[in-house]
Amino acid sequence: MEEDLLRAGYKVGPATGEEIFDKILREPGGVRIGVMDAENNLAQLETSDRRIPIYFPDMESWMKEVHRGLRRDGWSTRNTR
């Protein structure tokens, strides 16, 4: 994360958070907080299976209506071969 802040032009130190907060207040049009390495943008992903889990409990019943055979974890129980 420190490298992402450096690439965005911040001096990393104890006041970095306050600097970013002040910039957000001064520039309501948007603030660049960090710049990820485009070639290695998932390197900081810390899940054990290196996947991004996406599950919305509020949408489960709707998803079951539109896709029969959907498991709770969002993966299909159907063979897709």
Q: Is the pTM of this model over 0.85?
A: no
**How many structural domains is the chain composed of?**
1
When the pLDDT of each residue in the chain is averaged and rounded to a whole number, the result is: 80
Q: Give the confidence band of 31 by pLDDT, cuts at 50, 70, 90.
A: confident
pLDDT tens, residue by residue, 40-68:
878 878 888 878 878 888 888 887 777 76
Residues β-bridged to residue 70: 76
* 78 assigned to some structural domain: no
Structural domain includes residue 26: yes
Q: How far apart are CA 4 and CA 69, in angstroms?
A: 41
What local confidence, expressed as pLDDT, does residue 40 receive?
83
For residue 71, tell me if it sits in a domain: no
* Residue 33: domain span: 2-48
Single-letter residue type at 11: K
